Structure 1
């Protein structure tokens, strides 16, 4: 069992991307199922406000730190997470590994043209992968036919790009129907795969300012970005209160 770091009630797995990739590949090899949440500060803050969503996130087998803000928070509370595990990078690592094993994937989410092109790009780059189905993200969460379509595909890896909180809620809602499959919410990753949206250059990624590049590309995201300073302020405030209590108890 991996160690976990609790940040505002969300237990993040203490692992590196390479270790997590191996762990998830092992799950597929043994025909097991697994629910992975790639959580950033925005997701943590939403879980603070929405008890149902928090319950959904906590039902995941692994919650990974997708966001430099989560890493900074772990440093502030002095319970260090080793590195950021970006959802897109984790997805690409898994695709590379399952390509060697000729495993099956299902893509769920995004616009009709986007998910279709994302599937085509995966086929071109990873020709040994079996794409056993894909479906756009414009459906109601209670549409059982979609879940049955995924179930009957017998996919080993199910990439769910519905954006939060819908992707986590969809996985949680139908997870009990499945006996196998690694389920991961991948947000806007299909847009990047389909080349609808450009990912930040490598230098920006290394400097941990990928969020800024996305904001420049999509200025409408500014409201969502407010969650990051709110998140860090809350972490610092809780740390301050904890230190005060410790001093008073001396």
Structure 2
């Protein structure tokens, strides 16, 4: 079985959830610096249409299939990915492991109040975790103050919640300045950690309809949801092209 599967030009890791966690855990415990992208169809489509962002995603040490649409696409292309690896589930499991191993965590992003709420909830839920710093997402990149703060804190994990493409752009721009740490874009997960947004109930997740639940709760997301049919159109074009070649 291939370790990665190419979907729309992105090499997605082809491992199950526990295998992905094991890789990330080993990286953290060996002080290996790593960059993880959690990509759903929306992100994959954006990368397909924006070469600069695509180049950034290509630099990731791991791209996980965060979206049932990615798994569906891999099956259409006859290169099936084992399973969806949800970015939020990944985040929660890393926090649990961080609590067990007393890892050092830095949380970057979100509105100031959202960031504070997320930090407070994480500290309450995972008391053995060391939250060595946090900062909201509205800062001047050029000043470098946040980067210096993270350098001094020496975290094992930096969760970057700036939304794509900014979170991946920030990671790639600043990664050379750090000696260790797992850097992962977590986007809207910070809103869930802060308790400002509820995750879809288990019923919706089990049916792979988490996206539909989010749309019901946030109807303004419909424009973003248009990326999914556009993504599938491109996948079928690739499928047809492969048949004719």
**Structure 1-normalised TM-score?**
0.96
In structure 2, do the counterparts of structure 1 residues 199 and 127 end up closer, same or farther at CA, with 3 Å as the change threshold? same
Contact preservation (8 Å) 1:33, 1:180: yes
Aligned to 1:22: 22
Gaps of 5+ in 2: none
Q: Give aligned pairs, total.
A: 245
CA contact (8 A) 1:25 1:98 kept: no
In the alignment, what sits opposite 1:148? 148
Give the Cα–Cα distance (whole angstroms) in 2 for the partners of residues 215 and 142 of structure 1.
36
CA offsets, 1:54-103, max 9 Å, x none? 11110000000001110000000111111111100000011111111111
Is the CA contact (8 Å cut-off) linking 1:66 and 1:85 kept in structure 2?
Answer: yes
- Structure 2 CA distance, aligned partners of 1:131 and 1:160? 14
Match of residue 126 from structure 2: 126
Computed over aligned residues only, the root mean square deviation of the Cα atoms, in angstroms, reads: 1.2
Give 1:137's aligned residue: 137
Q: Does 1:35 align with 2:35?
A: yes
* Structure 1 gaps, min length 5: 246-250
1:45 matched to 2:45: yes
Quote the offset at 1:28 in angstroms: 1.0
What corresponds to 2:192 in structure 1? Answer: 192
Matches of 2:214 and 2:143, distance apart in 1: 32
Q: Secondary structure at the match of 1:233?
A: helix
Matches within 5 A, 1:1-250: 3-245=3-245
State the secondary structure of the residue aligned to 1:142: helix
Where has structure 1 moved over 6 Å in runs of 4 or more?
none
Distance in 2 between the 1:20 and 1:142 partners? Answer: 34
SS in 2 for 1:35: strand
TM, length-normalised to structure 2: 0.97
Whole-Å separation in 1 of the counterparts to 2:58 and 2:234: 20
